[in-house]
Structure 1
Amino acid sequence: MYLLKLFGLLSIFVYSCACYKFLALFQTSTKSHHILASKLFKEIANKGHEVTFITPFEEKTPTKNLNVIPVKSLQTFFCARRNSMFEFESANPMEKAKFLFEISYNFTEHLIQSKEVQTLLKSNEKFDGVIIYQYLNEALLGVAHHFKAPVILFSSMPLYAPESFLLSHPTPPSYVPNILVEYTGRMNFWQRLRNTFYDTSMIVYYLWNYLPKHRELVRKYIPGGPDLYDFVNNASLILINSHVSANEAIPLVPNAVEIGGFHIEEPKALPQDLQKFLDDSKNGVILFSMGSIVQSAQFPAEKRKALITTFSKLKENVLWKWEEDDFAGLPKNVKVMKWLPQSDVLAHPNVKAFISHGGLLSTMESVYHAVPIVGIPVMADQKMNIQLAVSYGYAVAVPYQELSEETLTEALNQVLTNPTSRNNIRKRSFVMKDRPIKPLDNALYWIEYVIRHEGAPHLRYPGMDLMWYQRNLLDIVGFVLAVIFSVVFTIIKICKVLLKGKSKAKTVSKKKKNN
């Protein structure tokens, strides 16, 4: 018995000390998304695993077991496209989708053909798993295929309609809104009709135009020229940065795990000047940030004037993330900073409201720290995030095109004076924090689980191996309709024959009588 217990303890020790080697590919050049990736991969490295992290960013502080390989040219490429974001604010969902398809394809090609990735592909390196940032970058799956390692996808937001379709994840347009529309899951008939149209249009465009381009990238840049279509939906696991506290509940398959809010930590000490500003703001502070992609410094003059005029009339102080060195005509109650520790600021008790672009990370940080939102969404999923926050009762939306002194003042008055907003977001904050396991620990568990179980093929539900028309029962519907058509056609034919026979019989009978 003693030997059996000793063996069990040794087994646990060996199990807990198993170290794996990961390759992490991250092509997007947005700082906020890099924060997500860096947080995850540093934690994996801290657990004793070895991580080779290919990213547009350098890490200022080295981490043991984390080998960061920066592809700096990706940042230059991104900066050249940054000014395009405002142009698409009023575009329809299909125009936005095509823009995102195009820019994502360019990012992917830039990374996969880079010297850093090509050198790695020509090396004799071996990996236990490949972790890929998932957002319209399917050609990177060819890298994982090359190393013959299980694929773990990481999505910084709920899955996009084409990606859900490709990965065989159930996202019915009847109650799962496309991330580029301003709907919640409770849509009326016309919204469901439009949502279905946009989902279908994007999927068709993706399959017939976008995916073939990625197929060619794989053939061109991956040794051996494998066919992307042979392994495009073979991911062992997908980690999704979503949670029911900030997103709506949707059906998830076994190999899809929600880890929303995993990047949020307990508040750290703030820089001294920032701490003093927040502490001395006895009437409260309003935080204003448009995130890392859209920059408030790029606002047109009339929008900027509306912001300054509104802020100058507030009794509260304003902390503004402003990306340039100079700011003419800054009101006395406004402090500007190029970059700030947003989550730590939101944790300060004097912060009363957050004027935000509605990015998912910002929304989750607001929910976690229970700070109501005034949303000025511009692109991607931001409009949907803000619309959802409005439906949950802790946000007020100010559409970018309608941004003025009057609309912003009214929105701020609502979130600052109406206790309902703060009460609602406190409830959501409790939902986010009330979990059986911390989301980061959950992510690490499933990453290790997939490697322990050699890709965990048992997590794949049978529908993933069906063709899309089989999975959606379109072949069954077609068969049933064909049977019904055949039966109806046969009945009609028989009726015609009988009626024709009857008609002939009457004609013959009539002729006999006349004779």
Structure 2
Amino acid sequence: MHLLKLFGFLSLFFYSCECYKFLALFQTSTKSHYILASKLFKEIAKKGHEVTFITPFEEQTPTKNLNVVPVKTLQTFFCTRRNSMFEFESANPLEKAKFLFEISYNFTEHLIQSTEVQTLLKSDEKFDGVIIYQYLNEALLGVAHHFKAPVILFSSMPLYAPESFLLSHPNPPSYVPNILVEYTGRMNFWQRLRNTFYDTSMIAYYLWNYLPKHRELVRKYVPGGPDLYDFVNNASLILINSHVSANEAVPLVPNAVEIGGYHIEEPKALPQDLQKFLDDSKNGVILFSMGSIVQSTHFPEEKRRELFKTFAKLKENVLWKWEGDDFPGLPKNVKVMKWIPQSDVLAHPNVRAFISHGGLLSTMESVYHAVPIVGIPVMADQKMNIELAVSYGYAVAVPYPELREETLTKALDKVLNDPTYRNNIKKRSLIMKDRPIKPLDNALYWIEYVIRHEGAPHLRYPGMDLTWYQRNLLDVAGFVLLVIFSLVFVIVNICKLLFRGKSKAKVVSKKKKNN
């Protein structure tokens, strides 16, 4: 009996210690998203798995088993775009979608044709799994297909409508808002109509214009020129950086796992000067950051003056992420830093509000640390995130065109002095933290799970093997309509024949009477 227990323990030990070899592909030059992806890949490596990580960034702190391969050609792409981000705020969702399609294609093309990826494709390397940062980069699925390894997708936000469509994930526009509109799932009729229009338009553009370009990238740059359409929705698993504490509940298929907030750690020690600034701010601190893509230095002069006037009259101190060196006319209660350890700062008890662009990572960190938000959304999913935060009662929105001293002061007054906002975000914080397993541990479990089970094909629901019109019963609806039309056609023609027959009988009868 004891020998059996010992054998079982040893079997479990060796089973759990099995190590795998992964290829990780990350194509964008967005620092915040890189930090998110890097966190996941580092943890995989720390579990003893070997990870080859191809990315535009160089890793500053080496991690055992993590081989970082930087692709430098991708690093400067956003530099020429940042100046126009504020102007881009007023674009309609279709214009924004086209812009995102364009830059995503650019990132993907640069990565797949890079010397680093091409050298790897021509090598004899073998991988147990390929992890791809998922965002409009379908050509990278060709790399995974080349290595004949299970594909694990990782999304930094809820799935975009075209991606949900392509991956056969349910995404009803009746209650799942497009990430480029400022709606929540509780839409009125006109919002549902517009949401359906935007989803349909983006999916059509994606299928007929965007996806064929990625198909050509695969044929051009992947040995053997495989057809992307043959394996485009064959991912074994998708990890989604979302959670009901900061996002709305949506239907998920078995191979889609939410891991939202996994990047948030217990607060680390802050730099001494920053710690002192926070500790000495007895009236509280307001954190101000526009994220890593949109930079504060690109605020137009008139908007900057409105910010200065607002901050100068506050009794609270302001900690501002400012990427430049020169800052003329800085109010005395404002401290600027080029990079802020945001989550660690939000954890400080003196931080009372967060002026944010509404990026999902920032929103999740606010929820986790229970700091109410004043949102100034600019691009991508930011408007939707802030609108949802407003509906949950822990944020006030200040649309960028309306950013003035009066509007910002009024918004700050609400979140600082109305306890409702802090109480509401505390409730959301409890929801985020109340989980049976830590989200990072959950991610690692499912990654290993699909490798152990050779891609876990049993997690694929049957609808993933249907075409889009079969999955949405359009063929059935078409058949039913055809049957109804046919019956109506037959009945109408029978009635016509009967009516003609009666008419002829009447004519004959009338002629007989006249004779």
TM-score range (shorter-chain normalised) is: over 0.9
> How far 1:55 moved relative to its partner?
0.6
C-alpha separation between the residues in 2 aligned to 1:310 and 1:256?
44
The within-5 A match list for 1:175-254 is 175-254=175-254
Partner of 1:66: 66
Letter in 2 for 1:296: S
- Residue deviations 1:42-65, cap 9 Å, x none? 100000000000011111110000
Q: Any idea what SS the aligned residue of 2:75 has?
A: helix
Letter in 2 for 1:289: S
Q: Any idea what SS the aligned residue of 1:201 has?
A: helix
Partner of 2:147: 147
Partner of 1:418: 418
C-alpha separation between the residues in 1 aligned to 2:296 and 2:496?
74
The within-5 A match list for 1:5-404 is 5-404=5-404
> How far 1:221 moved relative to its partner?
0.4
C-alpha separation between the residues in 2 aligned to 1:500 and 1:397?
70
> How far 1:81 moved relative to its partner?
2.2
Letter in 1 for 2:409: T
C-alpha separation between the residues in 2 aligned to 1:234 and 1:179?
24
Q: Any idea what SS the aligned residue of 1:181 has?
A: coil
Q: Any idea what SS the aligned residue of 2:205 has?
A: helix
C-alpha separation between the residues in 2 aligned to 1:107 and 1:401?
30
C-alpha separation between the residues in 1 aligned to 2:473 and 2:256?
23
C-alpha separation between the residues in 2 aligned to 1:169 and 1:48?
32
Letter in 2 for 1:77: F
- Residue deviations 1:93-137, cap 9 Å, x none? 001000000110000000100111111111111100000000000
C-alpha separation between the residues in 2 aligned to 1:83 and 1:452?
47
C-alpha separation between the residues in 1 aligned to 2:389 and 2:96?
22
Letter in 2 for 1:372: P
Letter in 2 for 1:328: P
Letter in 2 for 1:282: K
Letter in 2 for 1:392: Y
- Residue deviations 1:434-480, cap 9 Å, x none? 00000000000000000000000000000000000000000000000
- Residue deviations 1:270-290, cap 9 Å, x none? 000000000000000000000
C-alpha separation between the residues in 2 aligned to 1:82 and 1:123?
37
> How far 1:3 moved relative to its partner?
2.9
C-alpha separation between the residues in 1 aligned to 2:84 and 2:207?
25
C-alpha separation between the residues in 2 aligned to 1:10 and 1:292?
47
C-alpha separation between the residues in 1 aligned to 2:399 and 2:193?
23
Question: How many equivalent pairs are there?
Answer: 515
- Residue deviations 1:201-228, cap 9 Å, x none? 0000000000000000000000111100
Partner of 1:472: 472
> How far 1:326 moved relative to its partner?
1.0
> How far 1:5 moved relative to its partner?
1.7
Q: Any idea what SS the aligned residue of 1:138 has?
A: coil
C-alpha separation between the residues in 2 aligned to 1:221 and 1:80?
27
Q: Any idea what SS the aligned residue of 1:278 has?
A: helix
Q: Any idea what SS the aligned residue of 1:234 has?
A: coil
C-alpha separation between the residues in 2 aligned to 1:114 and 1:84?
27
C-alpha separation between the residues in 2 aligned to 1:189 and 1:61?
52
> How far 1:82 moved relative to its partner?
2.2
Please, what TM-score do these two structures have when normalized by structure 1? Answer: 0.99
C-alpha separation between the residues in 2 aligned to 1:205 and 1:301?
37
What is the aligned-residue RMSD (CA, Å)? 0.6
C-alpha separation between the residues in 1 aligned to 2:238 and 2:483?
40
C-alpha separation between the residues in 1 aligned to 2:82 and 2:69?
24
Q: Any idea what SS the aligned residue of 2:139 has?
A: helix
Letter in 1 for 2:129: G
C-alpha separation between the residues in 2 aligned to 1:280 and 1:14?
52
> How far 1:80 moved relative to its partner?
2.1
5+ long unaligned stretches in structure 2:
none
- Residue deviations 1:133-180, cap 9 Å, x none? 000000000000011000000000000000000000001000000000
C-alpha separation between the residues in 1 aligned to 2:233 and 2:307?
46
Q: Any idea what SS the aligned residue of 1:393 has?
A: coil
> How far 1:85 moved relative to its partner?
2.0
Please, what TM-score do these two structures have when normalized by structure 2? Answer: 0.99
Runs of 4+, deviation exceeding 4 Å: none
C-alpha separation between the residues in 2 aligned to 1:209 and 1:7?
58
Do residues 499 (structure 1) and 499 (structure 2) align? Answer: yes
Letter in 1 for 2:428: R
Letter in 2 for 1:174: S
Q: Any idea what SS the aligned residue of 1:200 has?
A: helix
> How far 1:6 moved relative to its partner?
2.2
Do residues 459 (structure 1) and 464 (structure 2) align? Answer: no
> How far 1:84 moved relative to its partner?
3.1
C-alpha separation between the residues in 2 aligned to 1:250 and 1:233?
20
> How far 1:514 moved relative to its partner?
1.2
> How far 1:9 moved relative to its partner?
1.1
> How far 1:77 moved relative to its partner?
1.8
